Structure 1
């Protein structure tokens, strides 16, 4: 076996290791999110939407539905629950009083943050083992994987319609 073949096989093994690690990460994060959702009295999908509202908001319900990949009627139910339980408010958009924007209530955000404190601390500790350039490479890799996930989801959605 020549060095080129050996390198190629090594790269294939490493690529499989990355893929398996990403699958395991997905499973572990889903389990963590389910546990946190349960502790906060939220459904998993409510927690996902709350996270999107926190990161992207204020956001319109239609944009939230598209971003979350949910039917608008489903999002209405989610928003009703989140608003009833004091996680979000619906407000009129200042530039168009007919439009509604959804905003997360910051006083409840601390509850979510507290539940993720252990994971956030562990990630900080893991990151301390890497220099700034290595962390930039890791961040870029994860962003590219997330984008690939969005693209794959869009393809599946188009095939369904």
Structure 2
């Protein structure tokens, strides 16, 4: 291998390692942010995760919510009880089959969550403003593919 090619390989490896380290740092910062917001709202991190899934996906059955949030259905029952008592969600029962339940977020409480996340949302808007459309497309693709890689890794660990 030519010296320039070796330098390119080393540079690519170093840059890849910097990206992975930055993702780990971002994960920590987001976990800290979620923990602080959860503390202000008297919610656990997993409660916020469930509210986020519901906010993005719309009303879901408990089974669908458990799958999307990566939770065991028995664990979800306690979370839903806590969120319902706190006025965060409603459990809607179908008229035809009272056993059929759909979970939905109550909009009045959602504004509290959005208000607390607003500084991060604004900061991210500022970061994104520094990139052109082509760069934003690459970043969006990278994050989507990174999420898919995480889903695959989770699936593999779940099969062990």
Separation in structure 2 between the aligned mates of residue 151 and residue 42 of structure 1, nearest angstrom: 29
Counterparts in 2 of 1:102 and 1:9: CA distance versus 1, 3 Å: same
Counterparts in 2 of 1:93 and 1:20: CA distance versus 1, 3 Å: farther
Structure 1 residue ranges, 4+ long, deviating more than 6 angstroms after superposition: none
User: Superposed, which structure 2 residues align to 1:121-132 within 5 Å?
Assistant: 121-132=122-133
User: Superposed, which structure 2 residues align to 1:1-150 within 5 Å?
Assistant: 2-93=3-94, 98-150=99-151
Separation in structure 2 between the aligned mates of residue 40 and residue 48 of structure 1, nearest angstrom: 13
Gaps of 5+ in 2: none
Q: TM-score, length-normalised on structure 2?
A: 0.94
SS in 1 for 2:93: strand
Bigger shift: 55-64 or 87-96?
87-96
Q: TM-score, length-normalised on structure 1?
A: 0.94
How far off its partner does 1:40 sit? 0.6
Counterparts in 2 of 1:142 and 1:80: CA distance versus 1, 3 Å: same
How far does the alpha carbon of each residue in 1:26-76 deviate from its partner, in whole angstroms, 9 at most, with x for none? 000000000001101101111111111111120110111122221111101
SS in 1 for 2:100: strand
Gaps of 5+ in 1: none
CA-based RMSD:
1.5
Counterparts in 2 of 1:96 and 1:134: CA distance versus 1, 3 Å: farther
Separation in structure 1 between the aligned mates of residue 93 and residue 131 of structure 2, nearest angstrom: 45
Q: How many residues get paired?
A: 159
Other-structure match for 1:152 = 153
Separation in structure 1 between the aligned mates of residue 72 and residue 83 of structure 2, nearest angstrom: 17
Separation in structure 2 between the aligned mates of residue 95 and residue 133 of structure 1, nearest angstrom: 50
